[in-house]
Amino acid sequence: MLGNSYADCHLHLPPAVSAPDFASVLEKAEIGMAFVNAAEKNGWQNVLDAAAQTRAIVPFAGIHPWQLAEHGADDLNDLEALLKENKNLHIGETGLDRAIETPLALQEEFFVRHVELAIKYKRILCVHNVRAYDRIAKILKRAGPLPAGFVLHGFSGPAEAFGEMSGLNGYFSFGARVREKKNAKIRELVAGAPRERILAETDYPCAKNPEPLPPIAAITDALGKILDLNCARTLVYENAGRLVENYGR
Ligand SMILES: [Zn+2]
């Protein structure tokens, strides 16, 4: 059954949805593996609770660059304590965003700490990037290969990331934009991606994607059409599974 499931490699737990309800949302959408990210401290425990309901959930906890105003450096000590207590917990969402007013230097302080934790505790890291690939690449190159790998979520380039980030154990997660038939840039990008590092995601329940069930099937099928694959679902599931297995779930 699992082999026929979808992997959704980046989504969130809506605050209004209970953990058991969320488990059934995933089941209805045939999602056998879901990388569920908590973007702020008050969501960390919810994600762990949801993961206790179903093995389909791979839990992630972090501090999103959009949430920095509500957090201080101390909160990263609490994140570290949580990682020590929960061996199944990964790190995210974190990253850099040039489209917001929060100073990039502050964002970098937090991002670097998340990267250090991913190395120290050998957990997968989920990275948010808006127009900041140059800085993210610099930090990740300096850190060296991440032992448990990382996901560049909502990946939209640049293409040189394929070579640079694969070597550091990075994966590329494509979202709803692959469904834009007229978007030649994203099609070209997907076509050039290393197949063994391609992931798919809904980023559910973000504003651009408010459908009640995560349309991971549509996103995965669109990827398959671009890649000329019968079963992109299997490709994505195997890639996500390799990432999680390497960590030793
Ligand atoms: Zn997200």
Closest by CA to 122, choosing from 56, 169, 65, is 169
Rounded to the nearest whole angstrom, what is the distance from the C-alpha of residue 206 to the centroid of ligand 1?
A: 7
CA–centroid distance, 9 to ligand 1, in Å, is 10
CA of 44 from ligand 1 middle (Å) equals: 14
* Cα(120) to centroid(ligand 1), Å: 23
Q: How far is the CA of 37 from the centre of ligand 1 (A)?
A: 7
Q: What is the Å distance from ligand 1's center to 207 Cα?
A: 11
The whole model's pTM is what? 0.94
3.20.20.140, 3.30.110.40, 3.40.640.10, 3.30.70.1150: CATH of 2-247: 3.20.20.140
Q: Which 3 state secondary structure label does DSSP give 1?
A: coil
For ion ligand 1, residues whose CB falls within 5 Å = 203
Q: Where are the domains of the chain?
A: 2-247
Q: Amino acid identity of 171? A: Y
Cα of 208 vs centre of ligand 1, distance in Å, is: 11
Residue 174 CA to ligand 1 centre (angstroms): 12
Peptide bond into 158 cis (omega under 30): yes
Mean pLDDT, the chain, rounded, equals 93
CA of 113 to the centre of ligand 1 (A): 19
Question: CB under 8 Å to 37, separation ≥6 — which residues?
Answer: 10, 11, 12, 47, 60, 61, 62, 92, 93, 126
Residue 77: CA count within 13 A, CB half-sphere = 3
Instruction: Please tell me the distance between residue 1's alpha carbon and the centre of ligand 1 in angstroms.
Output: 27
Print pLDDT tens along the chain (249 aa): 455 799 999 999 887 888 888 888 899 889 999 999 999 999 999 999 999 999 999 999 999 999 999 999 999 999 999 999 999 999 999 999 999 999 999 999 999 999 999 999 999 999 999 999 999 999 999 999 999 999 999 999 999 999 999 999 999 999 999 999 899 999 999 999 999 999 999 998 865 555 555 589 999 999 999 999 988 999 999 999 999 997 754
Ligand 1 centroid vs 11 CA: distance in angstroms? 6
Distance 93 CA to ligand 1 centre (A): 7
> What separation in Å is there between the alpha carbon of 164 and the centre of ligand 1?
23
Q: What 3-state class would DSSP assign to 146?
A: coil
Nearest one of 215, 227, 243, 236 to 30, comparing CA atoms: 215
- What is the Å distance from ligand 1's center to 10 Cα? 6
Q: Which tokens belong to 79?
A: 């994140």
Please give the distance, rounded to the nearest whole angstrom, from the Cα atom of residue 228 to the centre of ligand 1. 28
